[in-house]
Structure 1
């Protein structure tokens, strides 16, 4: 059905044009960084730029565009030429919904706790548990190995979980969010008390 295909294409173009207008300030900064010549223009035009442009057009959630462009800007700021790493960060962002990013930011200390508002056994609580599992599967967060988690998984208490960002999670959040400082985050979790009921570490015997 050609009319449907044409309509979808027009919708995407209009959406991209609107997003460009709404994020014009960030895009101007990125253009200035691009023209500064700190990074190879060929690297940006041939490798990274097409990925960002494609996601700018295809991404369904407007709220995620700030993280897409924030990551793109950080490529210049950090003079990052590790193509595989950059592409992987954008791949990870593509797998997340905006609400997933908000929960990730909560564990990074950048957002308030929304899940405390949810009633037990509600649909909202079930969604949160699914998001927790998703972030864990993407190696963005990790939890303490406790008997409580062994029995109840992500339904365990917050004190028992003692959730933290993984190494990859810290670097990813720093990539998409300027306000996140890794050293400040590590300092904030340094003196956390060990949760009760830690599983004993297994020792291999010869």
Structure 2
């Protein structure tokens, strides 16, 4: 890593934290003797903003049995994405993944890389929609009319999350015919098994047990709603004398 870059990062991180980050930075693409000033400024700004998180990761790494493996294999991916990622809001999920890489006692290098690949291919609006389906936030598109371009984008995002196997939908004739265009009550989207593991990787404290309990409650509420709907339809039918007499 060039002296100029090292000097700039040292101002932000200090000697100790720079030493922790330097091994990964040395192996990261784009970080050599030359780095565009725009990208260097972006990296410096993000490291400065998340300095406390990086210090916590450094502490976690110091307790890990796999520090060299993670720094050599995963670190360069993380710091490369820190430089290249266009959306600041995604940086914290990138760093959470880096932290969880050190926490895992039996690191699966391919699995971790796959999680980072998945995150890289998601836009922040995609992440917000995933969080909504996971019960971690509001629907980011609820204010838009069905005829709007934003609502159409929400359906495209839904399909994107399905293709990435982060979510899955209830199988129904309506869904098979119309895909994500059908009403959400018919879609009944849930996290896939991969989606649950992915959120555990990129979120600091995702509670899979709480999510499972919420899904069970939602499923029960859905069944009750269907039963009441059937009862209401029956009550709308005219009562005949034959029906009364049996």
- Quick one: distance in 2 between partners of 1:80 and 1:16? 30
Residue in 1 aligned with 2:96?
70
Which structure: larger Rg? Answer: 2
Residue in 1 aligned with 2:58?
31
Aligned equivalent of 1:162, options 185, 188, 192: 188
Q: How far does residue 112 in structure 1 lie from its aligned partner after superposition?
A: 0.8
Q: How far does residue 83 in structure 1 lie from its aligned partner after superposition?
A: 0.4
Q: Indicate the larger mover: 44-53 or 83-92.
A: 44-53
Q: Deviations over 1:63-85 (max 9, x none)?
A: 10010001111122333511011
Aligned equivalent of 1:21, options 48, 57, 77: 48
Residue in 2 aligned with 1:181?
207
Residue in 1 aligned with 2:143?
117
Equivalent positions of 1:56-205 (< 5 A) are: 56-191=82-217, 192=219, 193=222
The 8 Å contact of residues 118 and 125 in structure 1, kept in 2 or not, is answered as yes
Look up the SS of the partner of 1:117 in the other structure: coil
Residue in 2 aligned with 1:203?
none
- Quick one: distance in 1 between partners of 2:92 and 2:65? 22
Higher RCO (CA-CA < 8 Å; seq separation 6+):
1
Structure 2 CA distance for partners of 1:80 and 1:109, relative to 1, 3 Å: farther
User: Where in structure 1 are there 5+ consecutive unaligned residues?
Assistant: 1-6, 197-206
Matched length? 189
The 8 Å contact of residues 66 and 102 in structure 2, kept in 1 or not, is answered as no
The 8 Å contact of residues 70 and 101 in structure 2, kept in 1 or not, is answered as no
Q: Deviations over 1:162-191 (max 9, x none)?
A: 100000001101110123211110111124
Q: Deviations over 1:28-84 (max 9, x none)?
A: 000111122x23222022111111111111111111001000111112233351101
Residue in 2 aligned with 1:53?
79
The 8 Å contact of residues 170 and 182 in structure 1, kept in 2 or not, is answered as yes
Could you say what the CA RMSD is over the residues aligned between the two structures, in angstroms?
1.7
- Quick one: distance in 2 between partners of 1:44 and 1:74? 10
The 8 Å contact of residues 110 and 180 in structure 1, kept in 2 or not, is answered as no
User: What is the TM-score with the length of structure 2 in the denominator?
Assistant: 0.73
User: Where in structure 2 are there 5+ consecutive unaligned residues?
Assistant: 1-33, 227-246
Looking at secondary structure, tell me which structure has more helix per residue: 2
